[in-house]
Amino acid sequence: MDNFTFYSPTYFVFGKQTENKAGAYVKKFGGNRVLIHYGRGSVVKSGLLDRVKASLEKEGLSYSELGGVCPNPKSGLVYTGIDICRSQNIDFILAVGGGSVIDSAKLIAAGVLYDGDFLDFCKEKPVERALPVGTVLTIPAAGSEGSPNAVITDETTLVKKGARGDAIRPAFSILNPELCFTLPPFQQAAGISDIIAHVLERYFTPTENVEATDRLCEAVLLTVIKEAPAIMKNPRDYEAQANLMWAGMLAHNNVCGVGRIQDWASHNMGHELSSLYNTVHGASLSVMFPAWMKYVMDVDVSRFVRLAVNVWSCSPNGQNPKQTALEGIVRYESFLKSLGLPTSLKELGVKTEDIPKLVEHLKISRPEGCGGFKRLSFEDAEAIYLLADRETL
């Protein structure tokens, strides 16, 4: 186990009707003049935004609004948000939505207190100061409600890049599983794919003797695998939604990843699909992760066997561990398909001849290469895109 620090100071407020406490928590964490940040209208239509506003009004808090965040959020709206905050002396950002909204809110919060371009934070400069951010989460997926991360697409280069820093961990996050009852099935499924990927990016490590975090990773995966089919069958299953929503936070506040080198190559390769084809993030991962697994399996077959046995209930084949490892990947792919997710580039509408462009773009986004379990060359990346192009196992 490597030395590490772990810090997850977010105050989580979980359960039914908790969005009505948003105002009280903004006040608890020092907010007075709030910017409510949200997406493209579903929170308006559902009445959620009105309930949140009412809770702010109840506490005597003033607020402005900035909607319009799209999936794979863009830099443009962040600049708009920073301008609003500065001109209106906003002192608290309240994100009402999913990962895209929260990420956009985090970068507004960081940008307001920074004299330069907020995109500097996407160049390894950690965010050290930011306005406090609160969240009302509407989909379990990105884990941004408990993470120090934010991902944004620079509109001038179409490069999808990440910023991080303890200063952008949310002060509080409100998680009401009831808010997920009306999610479109594909969006819900993509969120599930994202949660699984957040765990797997940590599970695949060259660091040895990390039993505690291995077991936590397996615990979160087992929870997701149990609850996901119940949710796809009946999205109003509160208990299944509740377990999934909490698992989504655990998958990405790094409690599953401390003390170990992590991978993240599948995310990096998936980001290129989102940048160039606007692929839904979770769908980019359902395509790239199984392909990555097949390509890197030989680096440490025993780790793939462990996943297959402990998570996918495969019987270990002592004579042929590789067969067990592959069986685990097949079950993962079958699971993703059962949720209605794509597992090949074809299903995303990405053609074989587009692969060189993806690789070229990856060279710009990740000139240093990617992957901690196996460091990938750009030839490796191309081979993995080609694997993702084929029919699945």
Q: Which residues here bind a second copy, judged by CB under 8 A? A: 1-16, 18, 208-213, 215-216, 218-220, 222-223, 226-227, 239-240, 242-243, 246-247, 250, 255, 258-259
Q: What are phi and psi of 188, to 5 degrees?
A: -60, -45
In the complex, the smallest distance separating the C-beta of residue 64 from a second copy, rounded to whole angstroms, is 28
Angle in degrees, 0-180, between the axes of helices 75-87 and 99-112, rounded to the nearest 10: 50
Compute the distance between CA of residue 134 and CA of residue 69 in angstroms, rounded to an integer. 16
In the complex, least distance from residue 5 CB atom to a second copy, rounded to whole angstroms: 5
Minimum distance, C-beta of residue 49 to a second copy, in the bound complex (Å):
22
Q: How far apart are CA 28 and CA 90, in angstroms?
A: 16
Which residue number, 28 or 346, has a Cβ lying nearer to a second copy? 28
Q: Which is nearer to a second copy, 2 or 57 (CB)?
A: 2
Angle at CA 214, nearest 5°, toward 293 and 335? 45
Q: Which is nearer to a second copy, 1 or 54 (CB)?
A: 1
Cβ distance to a second copy smaller for residue 14 or 186: 14
Token reading at 115: 């004299």
CB of 266 to a second copy, least distance (A): 23
Residue 7 or 338: the one with the smaller Cβ distance to a second copy is 7
Residue among 122 and 192 whose Cβ is closer to a second copy: 192
For the bound state, the minimum distance from the C-beta of residue 246 to a second copy, rounded and expressed in Å, comes to 5
Contacts of 328 (CB under 8 A, 6+ apart): 304, 305, 307, 308, 309, 311, 312, 314
DSSP letters for 299-349: G-HHHHHHHHHHTT-PPP-TT-HHHHHHHHHHHHHHHHHHTT---SHHHHT
Task: Find the shortest distance in angstroms from Cβ 124 to a second copy.
Answer: 22
